[in-house]
Amino acid sequence: MISGISILGVAVGVMAVLIALGLMTGLQAEVRSRILGATAHISVFRSRSNAMEDYREVAERLRGVPRVLGTAPAVYGKGLLTSGGGSAVATLKGILPKEESTVTEIAHQVEEGQLADLVTPEEGMSPILLGKDLAAALGVGAGDVVTVTSPQGRLSPMGVLPRMAKFRVAGIVRSGLYEFDAAWAWLPMASAQRLFDMGDSANLVEVKVDDMYEVRPIAGELLKTLGEGYITTDWIQMNQSLFSALWLEKTAIAITIGLIVMVAALNIVATLILMVMEKHQDIAILVSMGAARGAVARIFMLQGTVIGAVGTFAGAVLGWGACRVLDHYRLIRVPQDVYQISYVPFTLLPTDAAIVIVGALVTCLLATIYPARGASRLDPAEALRYE
């Protein structure tokens, strides 16, 4: 019974650590994929100007750099969107649909329309794509009209007046990340240039590369290709605080819940100490008959190791299964406006699982040393004196 309780304690501890690591790893991976679905890996700017007039040439030159998969110019700005159902401030992004599909996943996120609809018409209202929650706040859907007011004003006899333009909603974008769905809108690049009075220029050129974790060295190659006068930023720099917080939270949770394994190891110590006290006569007889004290110590170390191994592998199986079930059926729902996603994903990495399993086995092995040494040092004469 005591050994069974010790096994159960180790299993529960290992399972809890694996579920916690799967939760935090899944959360990081989901947020990262959602962010990279709406933003590019690397952004290239002019170092001394907000406008890039040679954006066509820059985009073409960057396409020839090794490991670059796609480039797209873009125009960014803030605007006030109003409709008959409400108003909201949003980030406006002017894009070229064909090029944009090579650097982001927005083409697969458009509902009630498609990215190809985002072309500048020769006459009439320009199209615009709205984030899902932004469209809900404005009370509009595909085919409705919204008015966009830009902070860049124009001179008139009555002073500086804000620029205003009417747009037709061509579709709804659902990225799954609340930050984008609630405050972003996409429109043709030519329309954005007129709205923000930028002429024929862009704010930046976005780049997608073959390995999102190698953006730092690749960005250096981009700057070498373009020469002086350009700077870059990447998705890691723009979201560093978010992922640092998630990594710190993952580490803290793993350490905190990992203490359960330490408690289970103490149960193994108590189990072996009780076993030594119960079997002291048998140990004394074995030693008096010539058994080596090292052999006695190995018996109890083996017993503790078996308890730890059975509990560890049982907990690993239960933890892996729990992660699969929780992730497949999306059982844990969270507020989307707080956590950016609607459910908690679980992704258990093999390296994390291996570290937990090895750590638990080593902890359980170390827990056997003290009671095993106590058994090996038992004096046979004292143990059998009153028998």
| pLDDT the model gives residue 152 | 76
Tens of pLDDT, residues 252-298: 888 888 888 888 888 899 999 988 888 888 999 998 898 999 999 99
% residues pLDDT > 90 (the chain): 60
- H or E segment and range at residue 136: helix 132-138
3-state secondary structure 80-108: EEEECCEEEEEEEEEECHHHHCCCCCHHH
Let me know if residue 315 belongs to a domain: yes
pTM of the model: 0.77
- Beta-carbon contacts of residue 19 (< 8 Å; ≥ 6 apart): 319, 322, 323, 326, 346
**Are 65 and 143 within one domain?**
yes
Let me know if residue 350 belongs to a domain: yes
Q: Give SS3 for 140.
A: coil
Where residue 71 falls among pLDDT bands split at 50, 70, 90?
very high
Domain count within the chain:
2
**Are 159 and 258 within one domain?**
no
**Are 145 and 196 within one domain?**
yes
- H or E segment and range at residue 131: strand 126-131
Let me know if residue 357 belongs to a domain: yes
Mean pLDDT value of segment 83-102: 94
| pLDDT the model gives residue 386 | 61
**Are 77 and 196 within one domain?**
yes
pLDDT at position 77 over 80: yes
Where residue 381 falls among pLDDT bands split at 50, 70, 90?
confident
**Are 276 and 176 within one domain?**
no
**Mean pLDDT of all residues in the chain?**
90
Tens of pLDDT, residues 198-221: 889 999 999 999 999 899 999 999
Where residue 59 falls among pLDDT bands split at 50, 70, 90?
very high
Where residue 33 falls among pLDDT bands split at 50, 70, 90?
confident
Let me know if residue 177 belongs to a domain: yes
**Are 80 and 141 within one domain?**
yes
**Are 219 and 349 within one domain?**
no
Mean pLDDT value of segment 158-181: 85
| pLDDT the model gives residue 153 | 67
pLDDT at position 175 over 90: no
pLDDT at position 155 over 60: no
Q: Which domain holds residue 280?
A: 2-33+241-384
Let me know if residue 273 belongs to a domain: yes
**Are 27 and 87 within one domain?**
no
Do the strands 68-83 and 145-156 form a parallel or antiparallel pair, or are they unpaired?
antiparallel
| pLDDT the model gives residue 360 | 93
**Are 263 and 353 within one domain?**
yes
**Which of 182, 202, 228 corresponds to the end of one domain?**
228
**Are 215 and 254 within one domain?**
no
Tens of pLDDT, residues 300-354: 999 999 999 999 999 999 999 999 999 999 898 877 766 667 788 999 999 999 9
| pLDDT the model gives residue 10 | 94
**Are 185 and 320 within one domain?**
no
| pLDDT the model gives residue 204 | 95
**Are 255 and 355 within one domain?**
yes
pLDDT at position 225 over 60: yes
**Which of 205, 228, 251 corresponds to the end of one domain?**
228
Let me know if residue 107 belongs to a domain: yes
| pLDDT the model gives residue 68 | 96
Q: How far apart are CA 77 and CA 152, in angstroms?
A: 9
pLDDT at position 187 over 80: yes
Where residue 38 falls among pLDDT bands split at 50, 70, 90?
confident
Mean pLDDT value of segment 104-126: 86
Q: How far apart are CA 314 and CA 156, in angstroms?
A: 76
Give me the residues paired with residue 83 across strands. 86
State the DSSP string of 308-351.
Answer: HHHHHHHHHHHHHHHHHHHHHHT--B--HHHHSSSB------HH
